[in-house]
């Protein structure tokens, strides 16, 4: 591994926690949840939204060029985060790099708007920008255009494990020797009435009136508490770079047979196999922290905890999640969890969900494992270390 190390040399994000590392870390360091209330279909709904200040920055980006005017927020979020990432890594217009950016839902707002116009026209008129503006490929393609990148450009959706699959793909490209640099991550802007209604139809959305309405990881909760969030994060990956913020030293993945499209097994078999693959060249006891996917649902959280216990036994690492703070950002969630890992490594501080039994950090943080799993039983685990 020493001569084939994948370095993270820069990252950028925009989320309910902000858009720069200092502010984001301040938010992680307090015990607040960053949710607000929006009305969807006549119902007050918890949401993890961008701040008003950051929303204005996205509006300003939209106005930079006429071609950006009709871009979906998912594209703009990815563009914004990717600009920050390449600047942090010191990449410029002469730097050759590939791009892999994904989303669970893609251009949600745009698709719903264009489809509504089609229905209201009596199924007779389609806005000329509907395609390709609503394709998943729209995200990575526009980021590539914005950054003047000329390497391979990939977009995909693997539901909620999308962003970590993008990291996984980038690692494979780098190790293959086909590229020496790759930009990878995920973006999601699915806070729409139709999407919220879908989550309510699954009976997984939080209706708690509580300081912490998303009870991610809480083992004895009696009702589902998932909350939908929005945001994006991108990471600059390089092979054997000397300017690493951290290294990716393990990757794992697995897909399991499912009983229906929104399920994984009670034992979390796909997560078990993904974690085991990611840490196969490491002593399990050397993993200091595990950032769980833990969406806040009763069955989803329990399944992942069963997987963690199967892999680590009684010697579990410190366990945490960020969904109690920002909600579930679907295809961006794994990327925002990776951001959380990098910040904990940088500041050598474990972030404890305040409503759970305290866990004590006994040594410096060196290795952090990140999980993501999506509808369809697709799991990815990424191990990062200093």
Q: What is the DSSP string of 172-239?
A: HHHHHTS-SEEEEEEEE---SHHHHHHHHHTT-B----SSS---TT-TT-SS--B-EE-EEEEEEEEE
Per-residue pLDDT averaged across 347-369, rounded? 97
Q: What is the percent of the chain where pLDDT is above 70?
A: 98
Distance of CA 356 to the CA centre of its chain: 23
Residue 261's pLDDT is what?
Answer: 52
Strand 181-188 to strand 231-239: parallel, antiparallel, or no bridges (unpaired)?
antiparallel
List the single range of 197-206, 222-231, 256-265, 357-366 with lowest mean pLDDT: 256-265
**The pair of three-digit structure tokens given for residue 289, joined into one six-digit string:** 């922290």
| CA-closest candidate to residue 184, choices 201, 172, 196 | 172
What is the mean pLDDT of the segment spanning 197-207? 96
Q: What is the pLDDT of residue 5?
A: 87
For 141-152, the pLDDT digits (tens) are 999 999 999 999
CATH architecture group of domain 6-385: 3-Layer(aba) Sandwich (3.40)
Long-range CB contacts for residues 177-180, cutoff 8 Å, separation at least 24: 178/152, 179/96, 179/97, 179/98, 179/151, 179/152, 180/96, 180/97, 180/238, 180/239
Whether the Cβ atoms of residue 48 and residue 329 lie closer than 8 Å to each other:
yes
| Global pTM value | 0.97
Confidence grade of residue 132 (pLDDT, cut at 50, 70, 90): confident
pLDDT digits (tens, 9 = 90+) for 318-345: 999 999 999 999 999 999 999 999 999 9
Q: What is the DSSP string of 114-126?
A: HHHHHHHTTS---
For residue 361, the model assigns a pLDDT of 97
Higher pLDDT, 1 or 176: 176
End-to-end Cα distance, the chain = 14
Q: Are 378 and 166 in contact (CB under 8 A)?
A: no
Q: pLDDT digits over 78-107, tens only?
A: 999 999 999 999 999 889 999 999 999 999
pLDDT digits 0-9 by tens, 248-259: 999 999 998 776
Specify burial of residue 271 (Cβ count, 10 A radius: 0-12, 13-18, 19+): buried
């Amino acid at each position: 591994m020493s001569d084939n190390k994948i370095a993270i040399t820069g990252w950028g994000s925009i989320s309910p926690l902000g858009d720069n590392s200092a502010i984001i870390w301040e938010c992680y360091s307090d015990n607040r949840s960053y949710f607000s209330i929006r009305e969807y279909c006549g119902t007050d709904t918890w949401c993890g939204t961008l701040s008003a200040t950051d929303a204005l920055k996205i509006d300003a980006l939209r106005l930079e060029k006429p071609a950006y005017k009709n871009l979906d927020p998912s594209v703009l979020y990815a563009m914004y985060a990717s600009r920050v990432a390449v600047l942090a890594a010191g990449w410029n217009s002469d730097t050759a790099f590939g791009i892999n950016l994904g989303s669970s839902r893609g251009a949600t707002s745009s698709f719903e708007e264009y489809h509504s116009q089609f229905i209201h026209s009596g199924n007779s008129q389609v806005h000329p920008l509907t395609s390709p503006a609503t394709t998943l490929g729209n995200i990575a393609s526009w980021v590539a255009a914005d950054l003047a990148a000329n390497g391979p450009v990939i977009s995909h959706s693997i539901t909620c494990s999308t962003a970590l699959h993008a990291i996984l793909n980038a690692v494979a490209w780098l190790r293959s020797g086909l590229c020496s640099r790759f930009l990878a991550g995920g973006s999601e802007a699915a806070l729409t009435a139709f999407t919220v209604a879908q989550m309510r139809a699954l009976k997984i959305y939080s209706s708690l009136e509580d300081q912490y309405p998303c009870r991610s990881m809480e083992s004895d909760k009696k009702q589902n508490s998932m909350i939908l969030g929005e945001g994006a994060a991108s990471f600059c990956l390089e092979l054997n770079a000397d300017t690493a913020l951290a290294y990716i030293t393990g990757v794992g993945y697995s897909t399991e047979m499912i009983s229906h499209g929104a399920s994984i097994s009670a034992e979390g078999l796909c997560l078990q196999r993904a974690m085991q693959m990611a840490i196969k060249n490491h002593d399990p006891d050397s993993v200091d922290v595990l950032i769980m996917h833990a969406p806040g649902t009763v069955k989803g959280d329990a399944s992942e905890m069963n997987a963690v216990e199967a892999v680590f036994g009684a010697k579990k690492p410190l366990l945490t999640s960020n969904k109690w703070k920002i909600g579930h950002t679907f295809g961006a969630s794994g990327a925002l969890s990776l951001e959380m890992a990098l910040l904990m490594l940088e500041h050598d501080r474990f972030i404890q969900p305040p409503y759970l039994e305290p866990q004590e950090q006994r040594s410096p943080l060196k290795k952090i494992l990140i999980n993501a799993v999506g509808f369809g039983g697709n799991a990815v685990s990424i191990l990062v270390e200093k």
